[in-house]
Amino acid sequence: MKYNKEAFTFVEMIGALFICSLLFVFLVPNMVRQYSNLNKIEKELEMKEILYEEICSHYKDHTFTVTRGDYYISVDEKSARIEDEHTGEKISYS
């Protein structure tokens, strides 16, 4: 007798649902965490870029303080600091 299989069995459907639920349980929260990490790193990179641009534009000045957009930038002889005035994030170099 020949067995014709034209549809999925109940056990196969339950197995597929289990695998899909595992993917959603582990994959989606990990993607959300990665997005927040990328967002934080992107913000830091933007702040470093603005600090570098200001240092390059004031290359003759060894000490200066500037406000650029939402950022407060201060550079001394041996240190540089940028601070976001809205969020309070700071990056400093000594």
| Residue 4, domain member (yes or no) | no
Taking residues 65-84, report their average pLDDT. 91
More confident residue, 54 or 5: 54
Question: Can you give the residue range of the structural domain that contains 52?
Answer: 10-93
* pLDDT tens-digit map of 15-65: 999 999 988 888 888 888 888 888 889 999 999 999 999 989 988 888 999
| Residue 55, domain member (yes or no) | yes
Number of domains in the chain: 1
**Strand extents, DSSP E, 1-94:** 64-68, 71-75, 80-84, 90-93
pTM of the model: 0.66
Give the DSSP per-residue string, 2-15.
Answer: PPP--S--HHHHHH
| Residue 72, domain member (yes or no) | yes
| Residue 42, domain member (yes or no) | yes
| Residue 79, domain member (yes or no) | yes
